[in-house]
Amino acid sequence: MQSNLPKVMHPLANRPLIRHVLTSLEPLRPERTIVVVASAMEEVAKTAAPAQIAIQSPPLGTGHATLAGCSALGDALDASTIDDVLVLFGDTPLLTTETLRATLAERRHAPAAAVVVLGMRPADPAEYGRLVFGPDGVLEAIVEAEDASAEVRRIGLCNSGVMAIDARHLRSLLEALDNDNAK
């Protein structure tokens, strides 16, 4: 955006992008809302209030940010008092409550699915991670564009980054992540 202003603070309809996301989340009445920010982002933290803030330092990607959010959940996650965790991005102002509700419903409808990922089919998928499914229709991998083979880059279904995750599996899924990729 060629600005010193954090992306999530850019205004849309007279509100910062992150406020649109948080407003879409409110009707779901989440037990807790945690906004993960990089250090020295006090303005974002203030704008996200009354959400709880977790600091990601240094910022190492979505998985690492989610891990920071898990730390903020603390014992609630380990005590299994949380059923699902939504992972959202603060710069997606057009995400609707209905889409979030449907994503959660899909995760709960398929109890064997630890993760439901919201996919998209952009006109130009070039820079987006691809959702790779097995023959059984189960998501096998999310492959970043920089790491994708020519065959995987031909997949038009891309990762939006929005996920509903069964909280019972969240820590083990995050612990299985690594940063052995081009980014």
Q: pLDDT tens for residues 97-106? A: 999 999 999 9
Phi-psi map region of 177: left, alpha, beta (phi>0 left; psi -120 to 50 alpha): beta
Whole-angstrom distance, CA of residue 94 vs CA of residue 168: 29
Residue 78 has pLDDT above 90, yes or no: no
Of residues 79 and 88, the one with the higher pLDDT is 88
In this predicted structure, the answer to whether residue 1 has a pLDDT above a threshold of 90 is no
Q: What is the pLDDT of residue 113?
A: 87
What's the CA gap between 70 and 51, in Å, rounded? Answer: 14
**Residue that is written with structure tokens 């299985």 in the block:** 176
pLDDT at 45: 96
Strand partners, 12: 15
- pTM for the whole structure: 0.91
**Least-confidence region, from 45-49, 118-122, 177-181:** 177-181
**Residue 115 clears pLDDT 90, i.e. is over it:** yes
